[in-house]
Homo-oligomer: A and B are copies of this chain.
Amino acid sequence: MQNNQDASHNNTVFVDFEPIGRRGPCPRDATLMECARLLGVGLAAVCGGNGTCGRCKVIPATAAAVSEPTSAEIAILSASDTTRGVRLACQCRVVADCLVTVPPDSLSTPQRTQVEGLEVIAGTDPQVVTRQVTVWPPSLHDVEGDADRVLKALEGDKPLAIDVEASRALPSVLRECEWTVQAAIRGDEVVQVSRPFTSTLGLAVDLGTTKIAAYLVDLVSGRVLAADGRMNPQIRYGEDVVSRMTHVLTSPEGARELAESVVGALNELVHDLTTEVDRSPQSIVEAVIVGNTAMHHLLLSLPIESLSRAPYVPALSRAMDVKARELGLSIAPGGYVHVLPNIAGFVGGDHVAALLAINSAESARRTLIIDIGTNTEVCLISDGHRTSASCASGPAFEGGHIRDGMRAAAGAIEHVEIRGDEVHLQTIDDAEPVGLCGSGILDTLAELHRNGIVDKMGRLSKTHPGVETTDRGKEYVLVPSASRGGKPSIGMTQGDVRQLQLAKAAIETGIQVLLANAGISAEDLDCVIVAGAFGSYIDLESAMEIGMLPTLPLERFKQVGNAAGAGAKLALSSLSRRAEAVAIARDTGYLELATDPGFMTRFVDNTYIVPFGATGGD
């Protein structure tokens, strides 16, 4: 929880709504519903705040920071709610600084999570295949075991094994289906026995530090049947991977908490996706999960001691197959989770998946691939060689560590234009503005620079009429307090600009070191592919304005959306794509930026807000 030390001195407390990422001072003794309205968090409130509809459930992290439950809450909340610390926002008053978790169902408007991405063609060689089989029923003269009967009918030259959970379910399925069943076979193992001619489903997951995107796929056709996304609930343990790893290293239950929280979210996604297409979670016989190396380790409960300090060595990089039940994932009991390989400590399976998806789509000679996030992975393909690096860009472009930053939800300012004294804003769903999401943050900085309100050193003008100095510091005001009915203004502070300078410098430096390493210049690039949730919404000219991306003709850029998710889908429905992912991970060189002798000098130079490659002294 990001705390505001000034807040506790007076009748103000600091409230942090997660995972939506809205936080700020609120009046002591206000209801959490009032705090949510003040901070622009759209909570569901069908009954108008009477405590009767039960829609505005939230979970305050500290019971002592809020009032005692009211009789309305006691009447409406279940025992299970109470155990989990659930409260009704319209009833619960805040008396001290507090982190409040908002379950997805309590939001009036769902958050935007990136599930769209590259359209890719599925393979016809899935890991799990199905076969229909009919066997004779047993008799006193034929007492062969149920599973043996089915396996013998399926076996060719190669013996088959059967998963123990599948063998537990088999006898009743065999009898219910009158001795004709479908077997789902993975390699030499029968992982599920079900009604004949049931389409088997797969699950592809892009497990991001901030967002989780999940796709339900028909394994035969490769068609995506449903897609959904939600915030990674691990956010409550820290916004970035470093703070989550610190939690694991300092709390005895940390590893379990982080694994359980992400698996809980995956199980909710599985439930929602399968409900949407009227199927059961057990219809999913295979899952592919891609994530950065930290997400990968936290999911698999691998030790993260070595990953969390130099030289940042993973416990395991290669691709892995684990029974879903070993991870607590509620799909078919015999099903597997396949986890794509990592390349290095900060270049994970999600990057491999993105390269896999782009590999299938692209073949330009010199290609730069950038996946902007809390960690930004950059890959340069040049003369047949592929080299990747990781830039510690931080969460600023995802709204983290930015005063009015928020995630992409209704009311987030996503585009900004400044013309003289006029500020033009575009918000998600055209709702009343409540904060700035990533693309809005980038636009604001670019517009401030274009209009001379921020200089190349990143200093906010002291004289521009749009810049105000209040008890909250110096800020450029986008939405004044007056036009928000007295709520605090929305703007960009001097501190925000500093965070963004560091973020863009990290990305710019990463790209430069890769280019220098390959002996080419930015102008030599035939194609720049911008992947990822943030990257697909940004204004490329804004990114060029501040020097985050090379200044190149717009037609050389491609914004491909969630390429990691597309890669996960490919690996789900095609064995040869999995092999390709292994080859990509093996053949992609990793460049550790910290080992580049010029890294620090470049980085410092790049904090200047000037075009890509230009130096501040110019």
The chain A residues found within 8 Å of chain B, CB to CB, are 138-148, 151, 161-162, 164, 167-168, 170-172, 300-303, 305-306, 310-318, 320-322, 326, 342, 344-345, 590, 592, 594-595
Contacts and interface: CB of A to CB of B under 8 A. Distances in A.
A121 B67 CA distance: 74
19 contacts: A138-B306, A140-B310, A142-B311, A143-B311, A143-B344, A143-B345, A143-B592, A144-B313, A145-B315, A145-B316, A146-B314, A147-B318, A162-B320, A167-B315, A168-B302, A171-B302, A171-B303, A171-B306, A172-B305
Contacts of A306: 138, 146, 171
Contact of A172 (B161, B162, B303): B303
Contacts of A301: 168
Contacts of A345: 143
Contacts of A161: 320-321
Given A143-B345, A145-B342, A147-B315, 7 more contacts: A138-B311, A140-B311, A143-B313, A145-B317, A148-B314, A162-B316, A164-B320
A310 B139 CA distance: 8
Nearest to A152: B318
B592 A315 contact: no
Nearest to A172: B303
Listed from nearest, the 8 A-B pairs whose CB atoms lie closest are A145-B317, A145-B314, A147-B316, A138-B313, A140-B311, A171-B315, A148-B317, A167-B316
Contacts of A300: 164, 167-168
A441 B592 CA distance: 79
Contacts of A146: 306, 313-316
Nearest to A147: B316
Nearest to A314: B145
Contacts of A138: 306, 311, 313
Contacts of A302: 167-168, 171
Contacts of A142: 311
Contacts of A141: 592, 595
Nearest to A319: B161
Nearest to A142: B311
A170 B315 contact: yes
Contacts of A313: 138, 143-146
Contacts of A162: 316, 320
B143 A322 contact: no
Contact of A140 (B145, B170, B315, B595): B595
Contacts of A311: 138-140, 142-143
Contacts of A321: 161
Nearest to A166: B316
A140 B345 CA distance: 11
A168 B342 contact: no
B303 A164 contact: no
Give the most central of A140, A168, A318, A594: most B CB within 10 Å: A318
B148 A318 contact: yes
Given A306-B146, A592-B143, A168 B315 contact: yes
Given A140-B595, A592-B140, A145 B303 contact: no
A113 to B, nearest CB: 28
A162 B313 CA distance: 17
A301 B143 CA distance: 20
Nearest to A302: B168
A143 B317 CA distance: 10
A303 B173 CA distance: 12
Contacts of A312: 143
A137 to B, nearest CB: 9
A302 to B, nearest CB: 6
A143 B145 CA distance: 50
A315 B145 CA distance: 5
A317 B141 CA distance: 16
A311 B138 CA distance: 7
Contact of A590 (B143, B172, B342): B143
A492 to B, nearest CB: 37
A300 B507 CA distance: 54
A345 B595 CA distance: 66
Contacts of A316: 145-148, 162, 167, 170
A345 B590 CA distance: 58
A509 to B, nearest CB: 17
B322 A164 contact: yes
Nearest to A160: B318
A376 B458 CA distance: 89
Give the most central of A164, A301, A306: most B CB within 10 Å: A164
A314 B168 CA distance: 11
Give the most central of A138, A145, A592: most B CB within 10 Å: A145
A214 B143 CA distance: 30
A313 B306 CA distance: 52
Contacts of A145: 313-318, 342
Nearest to A585: B148
A314 B322 CA distance: 28
A587 to B, nearest CB: 14
A379 B443 CA distance: 84
Nearest to A305: B171
Contacts of A592: 140-141, 143
A428 to B, nearest CB: 39
A446 B322 CA distance: 59
Nearest to A144: B317
A172 B306 CA distance: 9
